[in-house]
Structure 1
Amino acid sequence: MPPNSYISTPSHDSYDVVIIGGAMMGSAAAWFTAQDPDFDGRILVIDRDPSYEKCSTGHTNSCIRQQFSSALNVRISQFGADFIQNLPRHMGNDPRVPQLKIQNYGYMYLADTDAGADALRAAHAVQRAEGAGTRLMTPDELAAEYPFYATDDLVLGSINTKDEGYWDYMAVFDWWRRQAREKGVEFLADEVTGITRDGARVTGVALASGQRIACGQLINASGPRAARTAAMAGIDIPVEPRKRYTWTFSAAQPLSRELPLTVDPSGVHIRQDGADTYMAGAHSHIDPAVDPDDFDMDHGIWMDHVWPAIATRIPQFEAIKVLREWAGHYAMNTFDHNAICGPHPELTNFLFMNGFSGHGLQQAPAMGRGIAEWLVHGRYRTLDLSPFHFERIAAGKPYVESAII
């Protein structure tokens, strides 16, 4: 069966695990749970959009980094990098699974204020303590190694070229779904319209098709629609769809070396895309919550903000040609920009995989593994993901991630 094949009718009316959302995060949870030798149950993944046309996964820029401000997020990405680059081993040495690598052009964070430089230094200390290869660069060092940057206004740069850059997310995504199906996971094309409860437990879901499915555990992996899904269970979570714009372009004067994913102080980021093409990303200054079906472009952002910022930082990009453009969504956790995962403290068989604030793709391996551990064993056996639990939100105690693009 092709990896993107969805069924229209489930085989059973009851499943041990039901996952709402079949994109990167939901597929990670399904695969890690199904491959656990201690799991002996049925899994149903439900997705309203099996084409993935209107999900965050389908509009990703597909990068991974270790430059975070919290140690846990650094460790999460380190596992992600290992998973990506050792995919056959992680997938049981299946000879069909391809060997992947990360295109390590790295991330380059630039600071043009003393406060921005202090933030880079603080994050650098966290990253180095976790074994990341991050190094700080003075404006003179930046000019010497990356002569295409305009550095007159810069105070400091931060870069890591080990396990940071572009990777082939589609290969991982496809193989998670393919192997999950081979282990009996069902992927259903339908929409959850309601969640039923009996006191402190979820009992099942109602579907747009009219079917009702009972479940033992329910996972909310519905990306930018996470708050709508949680509300069906009577839970309020601070997750909103925030629009992110992407452009690919060619330059009349291509750069002499590979361009790191450069996070400019203006908020614009640019990186290498192909051999002679580049990618830019940005959002509006207001950055409002939007409808999860809103993928309209704002063409004024390019002319008024993005192109001027690009040409200012890299003068060779004064003459460029836009090749493609699109809008996608971050599932933004407005509380602290960190994931909400794990079980609800009272509705204990309702689990979150939400609010990744733009980091979901790279965090999917560790999050899928962690959720599977909780489902099967009742505890985390590798990385302790409890700082991401819902309790911090209910208590008003943020676990802040400041390295947000």
Structure 2
Amino acid sequence: MIRYDVLIVGAGIIGAACAYRLAERGLKVGLLEQAPTPAVGSTGKSAAGVRVQFTETTNILLSWHSIQEYRAMPEAAYRPIGYLFLVPDSLWESHLKGVELQQSLGVPVEVRGLEGAQEWFDFLPTAEGLEPILGATFGPADGIVDPHGICMEYLRRARTLGAKVYTETEFLAAEPVGLEWRVETSRGSFQTSFVLNAAGAWAGEVGRRAGLSIPVEPARRMVFCTAPIPYPNWHPLTIDLSSGFWFRPEHDRLIFGRSNLEDVGFQEGMDWSWLEPTLAVGLARFPWLERLQLDQKASWWGYYEVTPDHNPILGRMPGAEGWVNACGFSGHGVQQAAMVGRLMAEEIADGRAHSLDINPLRYERFALTRKLAEKNIV
């Protein structure tokens, strides 16, 4: 039986960042990945956006500190194209409160009127079936990265420090034995002081196999892609908050999607029935989309790992000594992974995360009457 100080379940971007920072602290680290290679789950299928425009302090700072790290990492291919939120009248007041908080934390965010919002492209502020747009906010430090490049670089650094990655290794069960955990996998048994659950969409199932109730479920999301555009126009990743429709440039193409409310579960493949309602709201606001062609073969799907409040679960599991969660990011894992890696290293090596207050994201919040009320969920 092989023994580790920390055994991480999941070698996506969260698990990789944690592995690097834990190995950096001198701990013996192992990673279990059920897929043939790392970064093929939500990490590899991410829309790759990073933003600081959240409404809760913890989420803002998780992303802001992570962006600073990506900015200094060539493998991240960080490109600050910005995020543009088109805000309807009904959300304007609460959205501006979020901007005030962001700016108070030293995060660059601008408020723009309709004319300023149309700097890059035209849209219809008043569109049939949608709420009128009153104004916009723009985050100049927001942008896009290469999640696969980030993940593989963290794993390279972790391996250099002695971490071991086991691919094609399924987590089967775990039970506490004395002061440690015995973990059963498709490749045999492991013993570890800490299990770190970074299994993404499978985090809830990993918990169940260890006899723990961790409220993380998979939810399928679609990303549609256009054919190449003869004269691509670089512009921010844009989100219409009245409909949930979003789009951004991808080389010489455009990718777009819309938050859908389908039931959770492991449902595979593209749901082409979602294309029509997505385009309906997109064309209403951005009529010029009609000139673009769809490339079905370039479109893709992936899983969000969702929690009841669409915020991650970070830190030690109550009642299960030695079990730590870093999961349930609900589409925000890539943009928060760098800082999460640092915090989980503190949580395990120092006994408690201290660089940032993660109490609002701990498991115990689900027993509270007032939960985290993050409003900028896309």
- What TM-score do the two structures reach when normalised by structure 1? 0.86
Partner of residue 21, structure 1 = 10
Q: Quick one: which of 310, 321, 329 aligns to 2:293? A: 321
How many residue pairs get aligned? The number is 369
Partner of residue 234, structure 2 = 258
> Residue 181 and residue 344 in structure 1: after superposition, are their counterparts in 2 closer, same or farther (change >3 A)?
same
**Distance in 1 between residues matched to 2:121 and 2:197, nearest whole Å:** 46
Residue 77 (str. 1) matches residue 63 (str. 2): yes
Partner of residue 197, structure 1 = 176
Question: 3-state SS of the aligned residue for 2:315?
Answer: strand
Question: 3-state SS of the aligned residue for 2:293?
Answer: strand
Partner of residue 281, structure 2 = 309
Contact 1:142–1:149 under 8 Å retained in 2: no
Q: Quick one: which of 155, 158, 162 aligns to 1:184? A: 162
Residue 117 (str. 1) matches residue 115 (str. 2): no
Q: Which ranges in structure 2 are unaligned for 5 or more consecutive residues? A: 127-131
- Displacement of 1:176: 0.8
> Residue 202 and residue 226 in structure 1: after superposition, are their counterparts in 2 closer, same or farther (change >3 A)?
farther
Partner of residue 129, structure 2 = none
- Displacement of 1:202: 5.0
Contact 1:16–1:43 under 8 Å retained in 2: yes
Partner of residue 323, structure 2 = 350
Partner of residue 255, structure 2 = 279
% identical aligned pairs: 25
Partner of residue 117, structure 2 = 142
> Residue 182 and residue 263 in structure 1: after superposition, are their counterparts in 2 closer, same or farther (change >3 A)?
same
Question: 3-state SS of the aligned residue for 2:226?
Answer: strand
- Displacement of 1:297: 0.8
- Displacement of 1:394: 3.2
Alpha-carbon displacement from aligned partner over 1:304-359 (angstroms, at most 9, x marks no partner): 2122222222222112112211110110112x211101101221210000111100
Written as runs of structure 1 = structure 2, the 5 A alignment for 1:159-238 is: 159-161=138-140, 163-189=141-167, 190-198=169-177, 202-209=180-187, 211-238=188-215
Alpha-carbon displacement from aligned partner over 1:284-308 (angstroms, at most 9, x marks no partner): 3x321021xx331111211x21222
Q: Quick one: which of 370, 374, 382 aligns to 2:355? A: 382
Partner of residue 131, structure 1 = 106
- Displacement of 1:278: 0.9
Letter in 2 for 1:203: W
Contact 1:246–1:326 under 8 Å retained in 2: yes
**Distance in 1 between residues matched to 2:319 and 2:149, nearest whole Å:** 37
- What TM-score do the two structures reach when normalised by structure 2? 0.92
> Residue 63 and residue 277 in structure 1: after superposition, are their counterparts in 2 closer, same or farther (change >3 A)?
same
Question: 3-state SS of the aligned residue for 1:321?
Answer: coil
Written as runs of structure 1 = structure 2, the 5 A alignment for 1:363-374 is: 363-374=336-347
**Distance in 2 between residues matched to 1:361 and 1:252, nearest whole Å:** 27
Letter in 1 for 2:171: V
- Displacement of 1:53: 7.2
Partner of residue 45, structure 1 = 31
> Residue 52 and residue 45 in structure 1: after superposition, are their counterparts in 2 closer, same or farther (change >3 A)?
closer
Structure 1: which 4+ aligned runs deviate by more than 4 Å? 251-255
Q: Which ranges in structure 1 are unaligned for 5 or more consecutive residues? A: 1-11, 88-97
Alpha-carbon displacement from aligned partner over 1:23-42 (angstroms, at most 9, x marks no partner): 11111111001112xx2x42
**Distance in 1 between residues matched to 2:324 and 2:22, nearest whole Å:** 14
- Displacement of 1:223: 0.3
Contact 2:76–2:150 under 8 Å retained in 1: no
Question: 3-state SS of the aligned residue for 1:22?
Answer: coil
Question: 3-state SS of the aligned residue for 1:175?
Answer: helix
Letter in 1 for 2:176: R
Which deviates more from structure 2 when the two are superposed, residues 19-28 or residues 102-111? Answer: 102-111
Structural RMSD (CA): 2.0
Letter in 2 for 1:134: V
**Distance in 2 between residues matched to 1:306 and 1:251, nearest whole Å:** 20
**Distance in 2 between residues matched to 1:128 and 1:194, nearest whole Å:** 45
Partner of residue 5, structure 1 = none
> Residue 53 and residue 233 in structure 1: after superposition, are their counterparts in 2 closer, same or farther (change >3 A)?
same
**Distance in 1 between residues matched to 2:206 and 2:152, nearest whole Å:** 25
> Residue 233 and residue 394 in structure 1: after superposition, are their counterparts in 2 closer, same or farther (change >3 A)?
farther
Partner of residue 295, structure 1 = 268
- Displacement of 1:231: 1.6
> Residue 54 and residue 173 in structure 1: after superposition, are their counterparts in 2 closer, same or farther (change >3 A)?
closer
> Residue 359 and residue 109 in structure 1: after superposition, are their counterparts in 2 closer, same or farther (change >3 A)?
same
> Residue 99 and residue 185 in structure 1: after superposition, are their counterparts in 2 closer, same or farther (change >3 A)?
closer
- Displacement of 1:147: 4.3
Question: 3-state SS of the aligned residue for 1:59?
Answer: coil
